[in-house]
Amino acid sequence: MTQEEDIRNAVRVLREGGIILYPTDTVWGIGCDATNPEAVAKVYKMKQRDDSKALICLVDSDARLQRYVRQVPPVAWDLLDAAVDPMTIILDGAVNLAPNLIANDGSIAMRITREPFSHELCYRFQKALVSTSVNISGEPAAQNYCDIAPELLEQADYVCFARRQEHKPHKPSSIVKLGQDGQVTIIRK
């Protein structure tokens, strides 16, 4: 299967409200349309995760990030520009997303992916994509396709073919929370 076909299949499933498993700029992710509350609910159920714990969203560009946050503070752009490794930023004022994806305080965790496959997937989908690690909540994240538990493979509507043969260490992104007062809090290094 070509990457083009793989992405086309994944986008079709996402548009139908389905759940995909896909390689990201960090670990393998469980993905769905971040604007679809029913799809987001399926992800929480699949992970056996309390829906009070927010999920991360991936986007392909600065412009797309700005569609989902009322005001991106200048310090966010500075942090993203300075980041060497993938960085997720928690921003206040989430908009245009499924209500069950937004944290109780109105914030959302967003990351701009530069990894070729997930970037192209986000670009083709034209919306924010949920990106939470492939694992049951509390268990280790699937760094590679071979690490994915069989029951999670069975629950997905589509599993991407990209990078299935890969066997190398991957780690989750760093997470930084930006407060309304400009305060920067490191959640995960």
In angstroms, how far is CA 93 from the centroid of its own chain? 18
pLDDT, residue 133, reads 95
- Whether 48 contacts 136, CB under 8 Å: yes
CATH code for the domain in which residue 150 is found: 3.90.870.10
Q: What is the mean pLDDT of residues 87-95?
A: 96
* pLDDT, tens digit (0-9, with 9 covering 90-100), for 42-90: 999 999 988 777 899 999 999 999 999 999 999 999 999 999 999 999 9
Q: What is the dihedral of CA 18, 155, 102, 180, to 10 degrees?
A: -110
Per residue in 107-142, is it b (16+ CB within 10 Å) or e — as a string?
Answer: bbbbbbbebebbbbbbeebebbbbbbbbbeeeeebb
Using an 8 Å Cβ cutoff, are 146 and 167 in contact?
yes
Give per-residue pLDDT as tens, 100-130. Answer: 999 999 999 999 999 999 999 999 999 999 9
User: Among residues of the chain, what percentage have pLDDT more than 70?
Assistant: 100
Domain count, the chain: 1
> Domain residues for 114?
3-188
pLDDT band at residue 19 under the 50/70/90 scheme: very high
Which backbone phi and psi does 118 adopt, to 5 degrees? -65, -30
Cα dihedral 61/63/69/71 (nearest 10): 130
Going by the DSSP 8-state scheme, the letter that residue 110 receives in this structure is: E
